[in-house]
Structure 1
């Protein structure tokens, strides 16, 4: 998820290529940006879900290692698309160029109703789980906190751009501090002898495990956009992707090793707030409350950033499609796409209600977003193959290595995860697919209106 999909930040019609971006980023700049984008709040929630779907500690760590490898393969494919077609529309533009406007419209519709809003709801449930460790609010505590966070941060952004930026500056630091604390504590404190790490606790379900793993790695597709702006791109694109994803993989392995060492596999799988439980075991209730506070604050930063960017993609949608024209209105005072913010908040709050009815808010949001996300990810991978075939003379500043094996491998992984997200999930996945289908009559209406004008 918040991290799954591409931000379509448009200031002009997305049909046209933009002028070539300036190569202003150094290798270090690019690595820092990619690492910052990918490491989000999900890493404090997904380890427990991965543990519940892996049979032993080795399988758990192997899943996180494979997640890094899959991310590198996908990032290489996106790097070619981003440097060959440097358009701010991102995946929207690739899909439009390869498969036509209808597919691109459905992608934009999915971002509005599923991918971006689902990511906000997903992050809000992470916030709710950890805020509930500090002050429980009853049976629906996580959902209440999630709804309050969405409403408050949306209001803050509606007030104006400057307030949103100020909020973001403080919230990012807590994430780094929290990660370092959890890793240090987990590696220093072992699981108690009464609950050792079991050799086998359950059968490994690789499909579900990888869904949760790759949710945490989500965001490298956003990072591919900067590939056209890296100095000495031919040399540094691959280096920045490999270095950043290598660093991220090491961090994710360390934090999962820390959880495994400190709680044991069964302790991880049974936890609703794994970092808090680890700190509780090491330092008692004060430790759990301290790390819960840090993670809750960190998650607010991720929610705020996703709300901010999501409203702007919806603003772009409103400019490009008459059916959503009201979303394309920008309030000058304050400077914000107010209607886009409000609609986004309304949809996200509805998704919080969906997660509440299943009593598994975070997991339900993964189910809701995953099939749609992996479907369009698969199409994005296929678009590389289609555009290579249709436009063989197009200059490609970066070419994915081992073509066509690399994009075929990526498409194969996307296809497998699309299958897994449908086969092993429940009500959330069905709801997501229904919502995508609702975009078809809207597409027909849009085309009808275009023919009349």
Structure 2
């Protein structure tokens, strides 16, 4: 029997470079840049070291991006990390990654971002106790519908959302410059003039504090690796992903540094460190009550941008799994004209909506989802980085349009960073780590069951 056309179609190179850049920037720049800077200011206690930490975060991310660029150029595939893990470690390890991504990382991120969106929209248009869950659910459903219409619809939406998000960060920079020029303002609850106590002369923070600061910096940079899922759909040469990653990370690093300079010039280093909502405080000082409305809109747009980008890349992992596992073949349906794995998209959004409902019913319970994603994420990030070295050994004759410079120094350096982040997440998030282990254990059992089912199906097909 011939498979339906939608199950045999493959992704086509239809994404333009600027669309890929918009997706990457949209994934990376989320709500973190509105919260993490105050924590980094606390841990570094120096303007120079604080800005240095953000620059270092961009450089570390660039090293990781170079590793991913080699993998994506050599093996462009809609499965991204899943495909690299499959080639390096085998089918079962790749499935465990896909399971963790589907059940925790991607859907959990969509649900949490939906709550971030809902919280801020509910502050503008309050709908009562469950207003945040309602607005979050509405956002997930609307973006699912847009994504199902086709890759150009979702990518076009992403371009405009990313533009609005970047303009929001530019507004933060403008507010900081305004307060820097007008030194008569002071942050509510903070003594002294705003720019006076800059902390520029502070010494080097302790290694522990600097390491903790880098945890939050790298979390704010997180998400650029999702670009690997677009490698099979990017137009142009196989080095196109290298260009998309370097352009995106350069733009993100520049924005992050400018935003942090705006915070410190507008509020002072101690003002940043004491702030619970640093962007809101800056805009309130600069623009009064109007600033509070502006920051709510900015964070809501940032959440929408990240949800949409996460949906685009997340569904492609499930599509790749559906192509490899007979029991999940329905996920491997690709709508050629629209360029969308529509079944995988709907299943992903359905689980995300269930998590939104769960978070609404268990107050504060979804915070645990944030915690247990970190160890799982960094574990597989480490495996993907090491996969570059493994595949250099296993498949030395594969054509590699781009090779990581200073090999193996740079891959080993980034692997060490991943290992440190994994260790940090296990130390600081013990309960979450246990939950992550439990999720992986379920994935292992599911992989075993699917393998048994696949063997039975293969035997039945042979008998026929």
The TM tier, using the shorter chain, reads: 0.7 to 0.9
Q: What is aligned with 1:290?
A: 294
Tell me which residue corresponds to 2:107: 117
Give the Å deviation of 1:259: 1.9
1:188 aligns with 2:178: yes
Match for residue 98 of structure 1?
A: 88
Gaps of 5+ in 1: 1-9
Q: Give 1:443's match in structure 2, choosing from 439, 442, 447.
A: 447
Determine the structure 2 residue equivalent to 1:314: 318
> What is the TM-score normalised by the length of structure 1?
0.80
Residues 294-443 of structure 1: matches in 2 within 5 Å?
Answer: 294-328=298-332, 340-352=344-356, 357=362, 359=364, 364-425=368-429, 427-443=431-447
Distance 1:269 1:428, change over 3 A: farther
After TM superposition, the score normalised by the length of structure 2 is 0.78
Shift of 1:427: 4.0
Question: Could you tell which deviates more after superposition, 270-279 or 396-405?
Answer: 270-279
Between the aligned partners of 2:116 and 2:211, the Cα distance in structure 1 is 22
Whole-angstrom distance in 2 between the partners of 1:103 and 1:129: 37
Distance in 1, matches of 2:134 and 2:425, equals 27
Q: 1:252 aligns with which of 252, 256, 278?
A: 256
> Structure 1 residues 92 and 238 mapped into 2: Cα distance closer, same or farther (>3 Å)?
closer
Q: Which moved more, 1:324-333 or 1:388-397?
A: 324-333
Tell me if the contact between 2:81 and 2:228 (Cα under 8 Å) persists in the aligned partners.
no
What does residue range 10-21 of structure 1 map to in structure 2 within 5 Å? none
Deviations 1:219-248 (A, max 9, x none): 3323456779686777x8767654543332
RMSD across aligned positions (CA): 4.1
Alignment of 1:8-47 (within 5 A): 35=25, 38-47=28-37
Displacement after TM superposition at 1:408 (Å): 0.7
Equivalent positions of 1:59-98 (< 5 A) are 59-98=49-88
Distance 2:42 2:386 in 1: 32
**8 Å CA contact retained: 2:86, 2:94:** yes
How many Å separate the matches in 2 of 1:146 and 1:242?
32
The counterpart of 2:163, out of the listed 173, 180, 183, is 173
Change in CA separation of 1:72 and 1:276 when aligned onto 2, cut-off 3 Å: same
Distance 2:8 2:283 in 1: 49
Cα distance between partner residues in 1 of 2:455 and 2:394? 28
Q: Is the 8 A contact 1:276 1:289 kept in 2?
A: no
Contact 1:75–1:224 at 8 Å: present in 2 too? no
1:120–1:406 distance in 2 versus 1, CA, 3 Å: same
Change in 2 beyond 3 A, CA 1:222/1:51:
same
Aligned to 1:5: none
- CA distance 1:428–1:247, change in 2 (3 Å): same
Change (3 A) 1:447 1:435: same
Q: Is this contact kept in 1: 2:385–2:415, CA < 8 A?
A: yes
Q: Which residue of 1 aligns with 2:281?
A: 277
Q: CA deviation at 1:344?
A: 2.3
Q: Is the 8 A contact 1:358 1:364 kept in 2?
A: no
- Structure showing greater Rg: 2
Question: What CA distance in whole angstroms lies between the structure 1 residues aligned with 2:323 and 2:409?
Answer: 38
